[in-house]
Structure 1
Amino acid sequence: MTYLRLLQHRAEDGTRSVILAEGDAAHFLNGATSVRALALQAIEQGTSLAEAAKACGLGASVDIAAEQAAGRLLAPIDHDDAAHVLLTGTGLTHLGSAEGRNKMHQAAASGENVTDSMRMFLEGLEGGKPAPGAEGQQPEWFYKGDGSQLVGPGDPLTMPAFAKDGGEEPELAGIYIIGNDGQPYRLGLALANEFSDHVTERHNYLWLAHSKLREAALGAELLLGEVPEKIEGTSKIVRGGETLWEKPFLSGEGNMSHSFANLEHHHFKYDLFCRPGDIHVHFFGTATLSFSDGVTTEEGDVFEISAAPFALPVSNPLARAQARSVAVKAL
């Protein structure tokens, strides 16, 4: 089965375009300059995003792997005003995800010593895939920032100067836009590196909120339509040109304790997340972390995440921001 994917491209002169890829073939779309504009057009016309893309007509063919290598592919969604992009996520959503969390917190997960993390995981396992029309168990939820925290498929992931760690989280991210009537629309899914500070989280799980206020990376491709029940990929860390750590990861609803629909419901049930025109990037969680295997990352390490049916990986070097002083002035 072949999947349609949309990609955003920026030429050397700054000109923006949208690419439609199907299988190994990819073409520029005539007249399209952003996925967001294309999505708003689809909503206005009452069509799907795929139909709106095809209606543009195909232009010149393009080698998307070569364009990514040249640094000309962007994250597959953005907004002219980064404040109108919200990055959020859910955790303990995948089968096996509680194992890594409990390793991190170094706590027992049985009897009277069940951690809050394990309890939340077990509740999701029991009620995270409700029947259509029923309300399932709500997941762990967190906020990562606005669109200023979103980086492209080859850009550095920069941790703050005060960060204790910069660690990868290979995931799927749902990409959404809110229509003029407040209706959320899922545009598709992207391969993602959610990126967190696991040392900070391990110190005290109540610091999870702090640990998540970090950048995140999206792969270049927006996967349209229904997604595979199971997705298998590889997450690895490259240091000095050599693979330091590598492990398969699983995603897709067949490998999750929650359904996409349940995670979406518990995000968009809040009116503040249904503001017309806003973009939402929602990270669906993972069960695979190098940190759980005792890896300590270093500046210059490269995170490489790949998974079919995405043709391109998301590959980001780790960097650290310069320290700055923060002092509030009375006005």
Structure 2
Amino acid sequence: MSLRLLQHRKPSGARSVIATFDDRAAFVPGVETVVALASRAIAAGTDLVGAVAACGAGDAVDLAAEFAAGTIIAPIDHADPAHLVLSGTGLTHLGSAEGRDKMHRAAAAAEAKTDSMRMFLEGVEGGKPVAGQAGQQPEWFYKGDGSQLVAPGAPLTMPAFAQDGGEEPELAGVYLIGPDGTPFRLGICLANEFSDHVTERHNYLWLAHSKLRQAALGPELLVGALPDHVEGMSRIRRGDAVLWEKPFLSGESNMSHSFANLEAHHFKYALFRRPGDIHVHFFGTATLSFSDGVSTQAGDVFEIEAAPFTLPLRNPLARAEAAAVSVQAL
């Protein structure tokens, strides 16, 4: 029995949580947010399945109808967006080095291996340590706080100065830091990490700039054991036509790092173990339309779907208006 959690918001603004077990979906009585439900579970010393059971069964939900009506929002958020951290790791999937290596090889033609390829190979060698041992640390990046998290169906908006707005179909782990500083994994989501690959290609040292972008999570938070194999489809629609599509793989059997190793290297920093904080960590991908020469434009729609998730993640691409920023001396 697989538990998935979704967050629902009525047009009035009233919030609720939906729990789905296999093909049954129902509201969770007395709970407005996934964070509130998880906090109950931690306080009671139980898990999310137990916390849902303790709430009893609520009214049945037609998920497809609610999704079409736009009442399903991101599966996680925080009342104070500054206490939600978006981060990720790259070069974590078998095959993920190929696209990155293409971007950087011209600038490093004299080297036997680019830094990207070296990091990838180090991950292949040491990214899946045995339990209790430290593995090779991955590439890590910061994406922003909760203000950068976009709901399913909402636009992914690139800044006016962006050189590109490109999809990254992957999985993201969602975590709540408990009162004693323990990170609790609530589950995983389908995700579009969304980056500026043209900026990154210009100079690898601009990777940090290229990642300071919005990101979107699929509607469902999958609770429980992490899947070993996920196979899905990533596509871009332009008008009524499919501009590009390609299958993608994730799950630990398709990765050069274990989930546990990626989690260990993120939460080893005390900064990321502040009680009450939420973390959304993107686990990486090996499939990019940019690697196939696709140039996106405002109005394109990103679409990502993969089992065991039952609902797709769709977001149109938009570009923000230029903003004049002036630093004032006090």
TM-score norm. by structure 1 comes to 0.98
Percent of pairs with identical residues = 72
Q: 1:206, 1:284 → 2: CA distance?
A: 20
Aligned residue for 1:193? 192
Structure 1 gaps of 5+ residues are none
Instruction: Measure, in 2, the Cα distance between the counterparts of 1:153 and 1:113.
Output: 43
Structure 2: how far apart are the matches of 1:247 and 1:159?
23
Amino acid at match of 1:102: D
How do residues 157-236 of structure 1 correspond to structure 2 at under 5 angstroms? Answer: 157-236=156-235
Unaligned ranges ≥5, structure 2: none
Q: Does structure 1 residue 153 correspond to structure 2 residue 152? A: yes
Name the residue aligned to 2:304.
305
The question of whether the paired residues in 2 share the 8 Å contact of 1:177 and 1:279 is answered with yes
Task: Give 3-state SS (helix, strand or coil) of 1:126's partner.
Answer: helix
Task: Answer yes or no: is 1:280 the counterpart of 2:279.
Answer: yes
User: What is the one-letter code of the residue matched to 2:304?
Assistant: I
By how many angstroms is 1:153 displaced? 1.1
Q: Report the CA distance shift for 1:257/1:206 in structure 2 as closer, same or farther (over 3 A).
A: same
Q: Secondary structure of the equivalent of 2:121?
A: helix
Whether the 8 Å contact between 1:19 and 1:28 is mirrored in structure 2 is yes
| C-alpha RMSD of matched pairs (Å) | 1.3
Deviations for 1:167-200, whole angstroms, at most 9, x for unmatched residues? 0000100000000101100000000000000000
Cα distance between partner residues in 2 of 1:103 and 1:64: 42
Aligned equivalent of 1:296:
295
CA distance in 2, matches of 1:175, 1:256: 19
CA drift of 1:66 comes to: 1.6
Answering whether residue 238 of structure 2 is matched by residue 239 of structure 1, we say yes
Written as runs of structure 1 = structure 2, the 5 A alignment for 1:311-322 is 311-322=310-321
Q: What is the match of residue 252 of structure 2?
A: 253
For residues 64 and 109 of structure 1, the distance between their equivalents in structure 2, rounded to whole angstroms, comes to: 50
In structure 2, the CA distance between the partners of 1:108 and 1:164, relative to structure 1 (3 Å rule), is: closer
CA-to-aligned-CA distance 1:149-182 (integer Å, 9 cap, x gap): 0011111000000000000000100000000101
| Secondary structure in structure 2 of the residue aligned to 1:287 | coil
**Which residue pairs with 1:104 in the alignment?**
103
Shift of 1:113: 2.2
**SS class of match (2:58):** strand
3-state SS in 2 of match to 1:60: coil
Contact persistence 1:107–1:115 (CA under 8 A) = no
Return the TM-score normalized by structure 2: 0.98
Residues in 2 aligned to 1:200 and 1:268: alpha-carbon distance in whole angstroms: 28
Shift of 1:212: 0.2
Task: Select between 64-73 and 130-139 the one with higher mean Cα deviation.
Answer: 64-73
Which amino acid letter does the alignment assign opposite residue 5 of structure 1?
A: R
| Residues 171, 283 of structure 1: 8 Å contact kept | yes
What SS does structure 1 have at the residue aligned with 2:297? Answer: coil
2:130 corresponds to 1:131: yes
Alignment size in residue pairs: 330
Corresponding residue for residue 142 of structure 2: 143
Q: CA separation in 2, counterparts of 1:106 and 1:307?
A: 32
Tell me which residue corresponds to 1:63: 62
